[in-house]
Amino acid sequence: MFVSDNLGVNASGNLTIGGVDTVALAKKYGTPLYVMDEDMIRRDCKTFQKSIDTYYDGQGLVCYASKAFSCKEIYRVMQSENMGIDVVSGGELYTAVQAGFDVTKACFHGNNKTTEELNMALDYGVGRIVVDNIYEMEHLNQLAAEKHLTAPILLRIKPGVDAHTHNFIRTGQIDSKFGFALETGEAMEAVKEALQCKSLHLCGLHCHIGSQILDTNGFEAAAEVMMQFIATIQKELHITIEELNLGGGFGICYTEQDDPIPYEQYMEAVSKVIHRCSEEYGVPQPFILIEPGRSIVAPAGITLYTVGGKKVIPNIRTYVSIDGGMCDNPRYILYQSAYDAIVANKADQPKDTKVTIAGKCCESGDLIGENMPLQACEPGDIIAVCATGAYNYSMSSNYNRLQKPAVVFVKDGTSRVVVKRETLEDLVRNDCE
């Protein structure tokens, strides 16, 4: 009935998340409102960790890709679940540190880390810095030498694998802005260069082929390519690659048309490739890291809106306007992403209309979706858009000078604010007089 198993309908006919009435949440905290199910987040963390333990004999680490959703509380949750994290900016790293996260279990990514960010990573003792290019490698080596430190690094490799997903979120092909290409010999030259850098320790390799991937084929192909490269390095340079980070990108169910594989199935399929290649190529099995983000937080989240105007254009479409839009969910205008939506206060009724949900920004493309099945709704109704826990709050903006919504966590039937709603005063806080 719903795209996420944490959603339900109570005796009042209202939508629930984690057993909590969403209409009551909208009334208590206002809208737009991000709502996250903490129990589901923790459950999915445990699912990934169990898979690492099962298929890699515990020789691995699950690193939450925090670009999907970043705030102090999510880092606290990850810390308590013994997770690693993936950060991609000084801001994410700083937030994690401020939340008390042990950043020795962090991977620091990015294709253009600034000097300030690299110094932060060194000073905080980040466990792995993922090097993207030769300039960054040489710069990091210099900064580490000045601090009399040895920086642990992974090299980001482009495995040349095409992930069957949107062009904007493919990352493993040769023309990606990320990493060193295998096909050109660039990757091997980067390995050789890293070994010459006295203030760097080459711990391993990293790859990432894309996001919202719904089958195992690309992941399996990438794993094989990377293990072949590890074998080549061992044969030609006589060194052992200790770690292999296979990235993330695991798809989720946004609508009934999506059919993602269970996470355990992905882990089993890829582990078979790793085990086979290790034996076939005669290389030790590396310590495995993975970086799920969307798959941990997206299904756990919904966004609540209040319906405003309703505009019927006969024989063309019906617009239903909400008090949010591209400022709190830019994925439709970026990727034409599809969502499932529910009138939260009529969740027990059939979806017998088709509407286009329009945001309030002054942009024609500010939509949540077009021709979406929905219960008949009127001004004042509450609309819930499902599976918005990833890349919504983290990509939100103040376009049109709109305030960013609050984020509420639900757990054990209770709710609490983890990110406050922005005020009008917040909007002008950094403006100069």
Burial of residue 420, with CB atoms counted within 10 A of its CB: 0-12 exposed, 13-18 middle, 19 or more buried: exposed
Among residues 295, 293, 387, which one has the least CA distance to residue 64? 293
Among residues 389, 392, 357, which one has the least CA distance to residue 373? 357
Cα distances (angstroms) measured from residue 164 to each of 71, 213, 219, 252, 373:
30, 7, 11, 14, 27
Which amino acid is located at 249 in the chain? Answer: G
Q: Are 304 and 222 in contact (CB under 8 A)?
A: no
Q: HSE-up of 99 (CA within 13 Å, CB side)?
A: 22
Which of these is catalytic: 45, 361, 362, 377?
362
Backbone angles phi, psi at 276, to 5 degrees: -65, -45
Neighbours of 174 (CB within 10 A): 14
253 is catalytic: no
Q: What's the token pair of residue 55?
A: 């298929």
Q: Is-cis flag, bond preceding 32, omega within 30? A: yes
CA distance 35 to 359: 19
Q: What's the token pair of residue 239?
A: 């060194």
Dihedral angle, C-alpha 87, 93, 97, 102, nearest 10 °:
30
CA distance 62 to 49: 6
The alpha helices in 81-155, defined as continuous H runs, are: 90-98, 115-124, 134-146
C-alpha of 322 from chain center = 25
**Residues annotated as part of the active site:** 362
